[in-house]
Amino acid sequence: MSDESWYLDTSALAKWYLNEAGSDEFSAWIQGIDRATISELTETEMRCLLARRRRMRQLDCEMEARIFSTFQNDIAEGHLSRLVMTSDCFGVASRFIDRLPHVPLRTLDALHLAVAQQQGVGGIATADCVFAGAAENLKFKVLRFADCGRAD
């Protein structure tokens, strides 16, 4: 694969740490890329996702802690490159919402896209169909790890 960097949306990244639909496909893909990037926002979202899974009784406290620790270790060891979200990202995110009035782009997704754009990330990996559509509209290369009803 090329040396292009990929921004991993939390919906896709979760497939690396949790056994869910699309995990095998995502695992094979992520092992073949050169640079996987996330943002500081991804860390908070991953923490929230794991806590929600625990509350839903899909994980126990021990497993939740183990998965989050593994995630943090992957960042510390450089397997996931963490991008810094600057204050400029907020204005960029607002402009994305303005540019895409037909897309129900959520605040945090607009911020993810702003970080990716400002840092020059080449592609977006996601399992969120709305996020994927917004990224495509913004001319990102997009890899979907969900069935979004498309025939591509």
Taking alpha carbons only, the member of 23, 29, 41, 39 closest to residue 108 is 41
- Domain-embedded: residue 88: yes
Strand 141-144 and strand 5-8: pairing?
unpaired
Domain range enclosing 83: 5-144
- Domain-embedded: residue 150: no
- Domain-embedded: residue 152: no
Taking alpha carbons only, the member of 22, 52, 28 closest to residue 126 is 22
- Domain-embedded: residue 22: yes
Alpha-carbon span 71 to 50, nearest angstrom? 11
pTM of the model: 0.90
- Domain-embedded: residue 149: no
- Domain-embedded: residue 85: yes
User: In total, how many domains does the chain have?
Assistant: 1
CB atoms within 10 A of CB 147: 10
Q: Report the amino acid identity of residue 5.
A: S
CATH code assigned at 40: 3.40.50.1010
- Domain-embedded: residue 127: yes
User: pLDDT tens-digit profile of 36-83?
Assistant: 999 999 999 999 999 999 999 999 999 999 999 999 999 999 999 999
User: pLDDT tens-digit profile of 88-117?
Assistant: 999 999 999 999 999 999 999 999 999 999
Alpha-carbon span 119 to 6, nearest angstrom? 11
- Domain-embedded: residue 119: yes
